Structure 1
């Protein structure tokens, strides 16, 4: 079945992801409200701390005035200008104002320590936002659309069937670009590079020829000699003769200019002719 980019391929039940998204949005609204209320409390605590600091300044001024008064009166007792009783009252006032200053300073420290913040709630909000992003992504994943124009093959599911993670339900072939991969001997690759013109014939209809250009040439294949096994990832190309050393073959990837969508299929046999130079005879594989 042919599909266009953006066509709906299948849809997973979105309700669990919709519920997760709704729950995340509700948590965000509640948390924002909590941050707002907490910020009001923090503001009130800050105002109280400022008020207590002002009270400390008043107590400090009163204590300073009482100390100055006492210091002025003490030398006057010996001259009889003030009585001892007046000095005692001044000394008592000085001690009282000093005690009030100490109490005000303690209250100021308590007020400053009582000032909280919303940093923890703001950090929690970032967590909720991340959860919402994940929920939105999962909800988006529940609707699978074709990422490109192509053709669906190997369909292994039907309506109502459960889909399992990491288990394919069909294969989507990209029909926007078609490539032919031909294995050329290393002795035939002289002058061949990306952009080299090529002519391709399909075994399904040898009467039609298609023009193309070399897209890339493999820079490595897996050696088949004993003791030279390499990690996976490189193409393995079997040699046609085992009893004589022959030239190794390397994959050449050819991009077809105007492919016939009715003829080109993945795995179709083809013949490729490269033209590494103008007027030179092509090399056939």
Structure 2
């Protein structure tokens, strides 16, 4: 009996080893999936801008082509700048005319100020004369009854005082008129500030006739050429930022607890699946549109299902690719993302 059991064990031990290895492999796979979640539901993403001219006009120069790579500062297209140059010259001529008018008005103001100063001096002389004639009259009035002065001298003193007061009043009126006549250049200076603002705006608009690349990228969706009228509110084409690439990977909600910004990732793109790129998690999506969110006539729409299996929702995880190859990365291309959750992220 013992010999029979021993022979049975000897025959079955390879099978036991295989079963043990399979269990170990299964445990390893489960551990790997828990520490390195992976998804094929991912795509390449990059920031894009619509290239819109800030001024309107006919395109007279366009040295680029569709799907062409450009560097930051390269000329994308140029708009006819003749009208904007004319606007700048017109604003500059208005400024020159205002400067000439300010200089001329300044000389006139100086003359008016000198005249006002002269009249002010005349007022002072008239006031002194009034004081003198008044004093003479006051000295003669008590002398006439005593016979030390004649009535004629007193009458002459009174007449001189009246004449001096009349002269003073006339001089004061002239002083008011001279002071009121003194103008200024404040209004012209204010107009000059407006002319300077027009020159600055015209200069900016002239510079905007040349549209240059704000960053290195790739031109896409270009469907026009020279001769086309470009509007200040209509995009001409799209520019893809080729310096910064991302992969948006949709992970199941059951995998999100251990995914945090900074989590390391490896990326493969369908363009060259054998090439592995490095990356890190930039952000984790905060929400998605669920199937019951759509509302028609006040009632939520529930999608029909053939079974009662509950499928885990997926949320987008944005991954920054740190060593992207622009030759292999294209906006919207399929990708595979694998996260390294070991060691665990804080």
Same fold (TM over 0.5): yes
Kindly tell me the number of residue pairs found equivalent between the two proteins: 271
Is the aligned partner of 1:277 residue 2:311? no
Q: Tell me what 2:183 maps to.
A: 116
Distance 1:135 1:242 in 2: 68
Moved over 6 A (4+): 240-243
CA gap of 1:187–1:140, structure 2 versus 1, over 3 A, is: same
Is the aligned partner of 1:14 residue 2:77? no
Q: Tell me what 1:150 maps to.
A: 217
Distance 2:178 2:127 in 1: 18
* Alpha-carbon distance, 1:159 to partner: 2.0
1:268 aligns with one of 323, 327, 333: 333
Distance 1:77 1:58 in 2: 29
TM-score by length of 2: 0.73
Distance 1:127 1:73 in 2: 67
Matches within 5 A, 1:177-216: 177-216=244-283
TM-score by length of 1: 0.88
Matches within 5 A, 1:218-257: 218-226=285-293, 246-257=311-322
Higher Rg: 2
CA gap of 1:21–1:73, structure 2 versus 1, over 3 A, is: same
* Alpha-carbon distance, 1:193 to partner: 2.1
| Superposition RMSD in Å | 2.3
Is the aligned partner of 1:64 residue 2:153? no
CA gap of 1:194–1:205, structure 2 versus 1, over 3 A, is: same
Q: Which has the higher contact order (CA 8 A, sep 6+)?
A: 2
Matches within 5 A, 1:72-111: 72-111=139-178
SS in 1 for 2:258: coil
Quick check: 270-279 or 128-137, which moved more? 270-279
Unpaired runs of at least 5, structure 1: 230-237, 281-285
Unpaired runs of at least 5, structure 2: 1-67, 297-302
Q: Tell me what 2:237 maps to.
A: 170
Distance 2:274 2:339 in 1: 18
* Alpha-carbon distance, 1:134 to partner: 1.3
SS in 2 for 1:251: strand
Q: Tell me what 2:202 maps to.
A: 135
CA gap of 1:221–1:77, structure 2 versus 1, over 3 A, is: farther
Q: C-alpha offsets along residues 246-273 of structure 1, whole Å, 9 cap, x if unaligned?
A: 4443322111111111110011111111
Distance 1:241 1:86 in 2: 134
Q: Tell me what 2:62 maps to.
A: none
* Alpha-carbon distance, 1:79 to partner: 1.0
SS in 2 for 1:176: strand
